[in-house]
Amino acid sequence: MSETPADDGSKKDARRKVGLFVTCLVDIMRPTIGFAAVKLLEDAGCRVVVPSQTCCGQPAYNSGDRRTAKDLATQAIDAFEDCDYVVAPSGSCGGMLAAHYPDLFAGEPDMAAKAERFAEKTHELVSFLTDVLHVDKVNARYDGVVGYHDSCAGLRELGVKQQPRRLLASVEGLELVELPEAETCCGFGGLFATKYGELSNAIVSRKAADIGSARVDTVLAGDLGCLLNMAGKLQREGSPIKARHVAEVLAGMGDLPAIGEPSKERRA
Amino acid sequence: MSVIATTPKFKENAHAALTDARLQGALSFSRNFTDRRAAAADRLPEFEALRDSARAIKDHTLAHLDLYLAAHEEKVKESGGFVHYAQDADEARRIIVNLCKSFGAKSATKAKSMIAEEIGLNDALEAAGIEPVETDLGEYIIQLRHEAPSHIIAPAIHLTKKDVEEAFRKAHRGLPANRDLSEPEALLAEARAILRAKFLAADVGITGANFLIAETGASVIVTNEGNGDLTQILPKAHIVIASIEKIVPTLEDAAQLLRVLARSATGQDASVYTTFSTGPRRPEDPDGPSAYHVVILDNGRSSMLGGEFEDMLRCIRCGACMNHCPIYQAVGGHAYGWVYPGPMGAVLTPSLIGVAEGGQLPNASTLCGRCEEVCPVRIPLPKMMRHWREREFERRLSPAPLRYGLRFWAFFARRPALYRLATNIAARALNLLGRGKGRLSWAPLAGGWTDYRDLAAPQGATFQSQWRAKSGATK
C-alpha cells in the first residue's frame, strides 16, 4: 500500500479506502458522530481517511446560489478524488453529493461526468454498511425503547428506510417502536428553520407530539440537522426523551450524553 | 390584475393562520386525505405504472400542444360548439361576460373551476349584473362568506361545521330561525333545496374541465355531488372555462389520467360523477344546452413551455401535494395568498404572477420531497421550487441578510484551512457558552431557532481538528 493506513489498530491489507465526508454539522456540533462513523467503517474492514473538507454546498444550493454551490461541489469532488468510496453520516448531505451534484453540472459535460462518477461512489453511512459492505449486525448494546425518524432526503433521495432498522435490530437491549409519523418532515429544512422559524416550529411541535405519543425514551435519526431540531424542541418542552444519531448507537457509543445534554463530568 | 395576491405577505399570513385556533382545528383533516390516498394506491397493483403512463401522456401532449389544441377546436366545431382563446385573465372575463350577455343571462350557475378563480370571474359577472351561483357545496359556502377557496379540490376545508351553520343562517333569510342545523345532513339538505331553484332559473351554466379531449372535442369534469351535471345540462348555454394544458389527445388518455386523479385526490377509485360533454344538444337528445362554448385560457402558461417550469404543466389538480405538505398542513391554503396553494401553488404562482410577487412561496418549503413522492404525474416540485430560488437570487430579490450571510459563510467554506480554524474557534466558544447545560436557549444570529427551541451546544473542538490532532489520515 502506498499510503499510511489510519493509525488506529486496524491493519488489514487491501482494505477499501473510504473518505469520510463528515458533514459540517457533525464536524462543528457533534464530532462523536464522526468518530462513531469511523468505528463502524473500520469494524467493517475499511480504511478511513478524512480529506480536508468544509461543506457540501447545500445551504447555497437551496438558497438559489448556484455558483457557490458549484464551487463547493468542485472542491469536494477534488478532495475525495482518490477515495474508493465517499461516505457521509447524513442522508441530507449524502443526497446533495449523490443526487444533486450531477444536476448542478448539467450542461457541462466534463464536470457532469466527474460529478456522476463521484455520485456513484458516494453513500449514506448506514446504507453503505448494509447495502455495500453487507453488514447485517453490529456489536453494541443500548438499553432503551427507541423510535427512528426517517429523515426526508435519506428516505426520498437515497431510499434509506429498512437499513437502519435492520442494524438496530441487532443492538442488544434495544427495542424499536415505529413512530406513527416517522416519514413526516421534522420542519428543519436547513436555513428554513431560521428563515421561517415560526412555521418550522409548528412542524417540529407536531413531530415532538408524535414522538411523545409513542412510548419511546429515545428518538434516533441519521441526520444531525433533524436531530438538533427535534432535540431542541423536546428539550424546550421539558420532555425527557433523548435524541441521538443512529451511528452512535450502532457504534456502541449510546452512553454518551444525548444531543443537548450536559457532559457527564460536568453533571457529576 | 385578476385576483389580488397577498403572497408577498406570506409570513404574516402564516403567522395569522398559526395563531388562529379555529383554523388549526379545521386543518386537522389532513390525515384523512393521506391515509385514503395510501390505501387507494395500495389497492391498485399497477398504480405506480399508471403514474408513469400519466406522466408520459402529459409530456407527449405538451410537446405537441399546438396540434392537439387545433384538433380539439375542429372537433368542438364539428359538434356545433365554439372555441375561444384568451391570452390573459382580462380577455377571458370579457369573452365570458359577453357570451352571458348574448344569452340575456340574469344568473349563471357554476361548477367548481380553479380557472374561474384565477381570472376572478365571479366579480366580473356581478359587475355585469349577472348573478354567479356556485353549486359545488364547498364553493357555495365560501361564496356566501366572500372568501377564496383554501384548497383546489376541497375549497372550504378550512371551515368547521359551525362556520357553515353561521354562514347559512346569515344568508338564508326567511327560513325558520329555530331550525336545527347541527348535523351535516341538515346543512346539505338546506343547500340542496336552495340550489335546486337556482339550477332551474339559471340561463348559463359555467363549468371548468379536468380534461379537454382532442380526439372527440369533449370536456370532462369529475364531481362528487352531481352539481356539475345540473350546471351543464339545465341552462340554455354551457360555457367551459379551461387552461391550455387541460388538453389530452384521446379518450383512452383521459381514462388513464382519471384512474390516477381520484385515487391521488380523495383516495376514491373514481369520483362519483365523471361527465363528458360534447357540443350542444343534438336534435335527438332529450335535453342539454342549445349553445356550447369552450374558453381556453393561456395567462402565461405558454411561456412555461420548453423552459425549466414546463413539467408544472403536467399538473392535473388533484391536490395530493398540498394534502401531504407539512407547510400546507400547518397553515392551510389562504396563507399562500393567491389562487393556488401548497407545493403546486408554490411553483405555479411565480410563473403566473411573477417571482417578485410570488417568490415567498417556493422559499417557504423544507424541500422534504413528499409532494413529489405522491404526485400522480411525478412533477419534480422541490426541484422547481429551487429553480425559483435561483431566479430570485440572480435578480437579487432574496433578502439581504440571506445574501450577505451566504457570502460571509462561503468565504470560509471556499478556504478549507481557514474554515477549520474558524469553525474550531466558533465551536469551542459556543461550547463554553453552553457550559454546564449542554445547550443554549439563546445564540447570536439564531433567533429564528432559539425563539422556539433549544440549540445543542457543540461538544468542543471540531471533528477535523480532533482527527488531525490524533494524526488521522487525510488522504
Structural domains for chain B: 7-303 (3.40.50.10420), 411-469 (no CATH)
Question: Are B389 and A75 an interchain contact pair (Cβ–Cβ within 8 Å)?
Answer: no
Question: Are A71 and B410 an interchain contact pair (Cβ–Cβ within 8 Å)?
Answer: yes
Q: What is the side-by-side order of every strand in the sheet holding A46-49?
A: A46-49, A16-20, A85-88, A122-124
Q: How far apart are CA B329 and CA B31, in angstroms?
A: 9
Q: How far apart are CA B156 and CA B163, in angstroms?
A: 10
Question: Are B452 and A64 an interchain contact pair (Cβ–Cβ within 8 Å)?
Answer: no
Domains and their CATH numbers in chain A: 16-130 (3.40.50), 136-267 (3.40.50)
Q: How far apart are CA B34 and CA B267, in angstroms?
A: 8
* Chain B residue closest in CA terms to A268: B436
Residue A9: pLDDT over 60:
no
Summarize pLDDT for A71-80 with one digit per residue, the tens.
999 999 999 9
Environment class of A16 (CB within 10 Å of its CB; exposed 0-12, middle 13-18, buried 19+): middle
Beta bridge pairs of residue A219: A147, A243
Q: DSSP states of B323-356 as a string?
A: HT-HHHHHH-SGGG-SS--HHHHHHHHHHHH-HH
Residue B299's region, left for phi above 0, alpha for psi from -120 to 50, else beta, is left
Q: How far apart are CA B296 and CA B22, in angstroms?
A: 38
Q: How far apart are CA A89 and CA A249, in angstroms?
A: 13
Residue A11: pLDDT over 50:
no
pLDDT, residue B408, reads 95
Residues of chain B with C-beta less than 8 angstroms from the C-beta of A153: 369
- Of B124, B132, B115, the C-alpha closest to B202 is B132
Environment class of B172 (CB within 10 Å of its CB; exposed 0-12, middle 13-18, buried 19+): middle
Residue B2: pLDDT over 80:
no
Tell me how close the Cα of B443 comes to any Cα of chain A, in angstroms. Answer: 12
Residue B271: pLDDT over 90:
yes
Q: How far apart are CA A104 and CA A106, in angstroms?
A: 6
Question: Are A266 and B461 an interchain contact pair (Cβ–Cβ within 8 Å)?
Answer: no
Question: Are B414 and A5 an interchain contact pair (Cβ–Cβ within 8 Å)?
Answer: no
User: How many degrees, rounded to 5, is the angle at CA A176 between CA A173 and CA A178?
Assistant: 170
- Choose the closest CB to A152 out of B369, B415, B454: B369
Residues of chain B with C-beta less than 8 angstroms from the C-beta of A266: 435-436
Residue B383 near chain A (CB below 8 Å):
yes
Tell me how close the Cα of A137 comes to any Cα of chain B, in angstroms. Answer: 26
Q: What does DSSP say about strands B439-440 and B455-456: parallel, antiparallel, or unpaired?
A: antiparallel
**What amino acid occupies position B153?**
I
| Positive or negative torsion for Cα B334, B338, B340, B343 | negative
Residue A163: pLDDT over 90:
yes
A22 confidence band (pLDDT: 50, 70, 90): very high
Residue A7: pLDDT over 60:
no
The DSSP output letter for B149 is -
Give the CA distances from residue A129 to residues A33, A175, A251, B443, in Å, rounded to whole numbers and listed in that order.
Answer: 15, 21, 12, 36
B contact residues 312-351, partner A, Cβ 8 Å cutoff: 326-327, 330-331
Give me the residue label for grid cell 411541535: A205
Residues of chain A with C-beta less than 8 angstroms from the C-beta of B411: none
Beta bridge pairs of residue B366: none
B30 confidence band (pLDDT: 50, 70, 90): low
Beta bridge pairs of residue B293: B82, B239
Environment class of B285 (CB within 10 Å of its CB; exposed 0-12, middle 13-18, buried 19+): exposed
Residues of chain B with C-beta less than 8 angstroms from the C-beta of A74: none
- B356-B360-B361-B364 Cα dihedral, nearest 10 degrees: 160
Give me the residue label for grid cell 465517499: A86
Average pLDDT over residues B15-31: 89
Q: What does DSSP say about strands B237-243 and B204-207: parallel, antiparallel, or unpaired?
A: parallel
Residues of chain A with C-beta less than 8 angstroms from the C-beta of B454: 231-232, 235-236, 260
Q: Are A242 and A217 in contact (CB under 8 A)?
A: yes
Give me the residue label for grid cell 449486525: A137
Q: How far apart are CA A57 and CA B35, in angstroms?
A: 36
Q: Are B109 and B205 in contact (CB under 8 A)?
A: yes
Question: Are B453 and A266 an interchain contact pair (Cβ–Cβ within 8 Å)?
Answer: no
Residue A34: pLDDT over 90:
yes
Element (H, E) at B275: strand B273-277
Average pLDDT over residues B400-413: 94
- What does the mean pLDDT of chain A come to? 94
- B145's CB contacts (< 8 A; 6+ apart) are B159, B163, B167
Q: What does DSSP say about strands A141-148 and A172-177: parallel, antiparallel, or unpaired?
A: parallel
Tell me how close the Cα of A167 comes to any Cα of chain B, in angstroms. Answer: 25
Question: Are A202 and B419 an interchain contact pair (Cβ–Cβ within 8 Å)?
Answer: no
Residue B395 near chain A (CB below 8 Å):
no
Question: Are B386 and A62 an interchain contact pair (Cβ–Cβ within 8 Å)?
Answer: yes
Write b or e for each residue in B50-80: b if 16 or more Cβ atoms lie within 10 A of its Cβ, otherwise e. bbebbbebbeebbeebeebbebbbebbeebe
Which of B321, B363, B366, B411 best tests the A interface by mutation, with the highest count of A CBs <10 A? B366
Most confidently predicted of B208-212, B394-398, B428-432: B208-212
Summarize pLDDT for A241-268 with one digit per residue, the tens.
999 999 999 999 999 999 999 987 544 3
Q: How far apart are CA B264 and CA B417, in angstroms?
A: 51
Environment class of B200 (CB within 10 Å of its CB; exposed 0-12, middle 13-18, buried 19+): exposed
Residues of chain A with C-beta less than 8 angstroms from the C-beta of B467: 34, 50
Question: Are A260 and B406 an interchain contact pair (Cβ–Cβ within 8 Å)?
Answer: no
| Positive or negative torsion for Cα B152, B158, B164, B166 | negative
Average pLDDT over residues B154-175: 95
Give the CA distances from residue A59 to residues A193, A201, B258, B302, in Å, rounded to whole numbers and listed in that order.
Answer: 12, 19, 39, 32
Q: Are B34 and B148 in contact (CB under 8 A)?
A: no
Q: How far apart are CA B161 and CA B157, in angstroms?
A: 10
Residue B25: pLDDT over 70:
yes
Residues of chain A with C-beta less than 8 angstroms from the C-beta of B441: 236
A1 confidence band (pLDDT: 50, 70, 90): very low
Question: Are B370 and A183 an interchain contact pair (Cβ–Cβ within 8 Å)?
Answer: yes
Summarize pLDDT for B333-389 with one digit per residue, the tens.
999 999 999 999 999 999 999 999 999 999 999 999 999 999 999 999 999 999 999
* Chain A residue closest in CA terms to B458: A29
- Of B208, B247, B209, B327, the C-alpha closest to B72 is B247
Residue A10: pLDDT over 60:
no
- Choose the closest CB to A63 out of B326, B406, B456: B406
B447 confidence band (pLDDT: 50, 70, 90): confident
- Of A191, A221, A218, A251, the C-alpha closest to A124 is A221
Average pLDDT over residues B16-28: 93
- Choose the closest CB to B474 out of A35, A52, A263: A52
Phi, psi torsion values for B404, nearest 5 degrees: -70, -35
User: Which triple of cell numbers denotes residue A64?
Assistant: 438559489
Question: Are A63 and B417 an interchain contact pair (Cβ–Cβ within 8 Å)?
Answer: no
Residues of chain A with C-beta less than 8 angstroms from the C-beta of B449: 193-194, 197, 232
Average pLDDT over residues B77-86: 98
* First and final C-alpha spacing in chain A: 46
Question: Are A65 and B406 an interchain contact pair (Cβ–Cβ within 8 Å)?
Answer: yes
The set of long-range contacts for B74-77, using a CB threshold of 8 Å and a minimum separation of 24, is B74/B217, B75/B214, B75/B215, B75/B216, B75/B217, B75/B278, B76/B217, B76/B279, B76/B292, B76/B294, B77/B217
Give me the residue label for grid cell 457557490: A68
Residue B246: pLDDT over 70:
yes
Q: How far apart are CA B163 and CA B248, in angstroms?
A: 39
Average pLDDT over residues B179-186: 95
Average pLDDT over residues A111-124: 97
Residue B150: pLDDT over 50:
yes
pLDDT, residue A6, reads 45
Q: How far apart are CA B93 and CA B115, in angstroms?
A: 11
Question: Are B406 and A68 an interchain contact pair (Cβ–Cβ within 8 Å)?
Answer: yes
Tell me how close the Cα of A243 comes to any Cα of chain B, in angstroms. Answer: 11
> Half-sphere exposure of A156 toward its Cβ, with a 13 Å CA cutoff?
18
Question: Are A28 and B462 an interchain contact pair (Cβ–Cβ within 8 Å)?
Answer: yes
pLDDT, residue B444, reads 77
Q: Are A88 and A97 in contact (CB under 8 A)?
A: yes
| Positive or negative torsion for Cα B13, B15, B16, B22 | positive
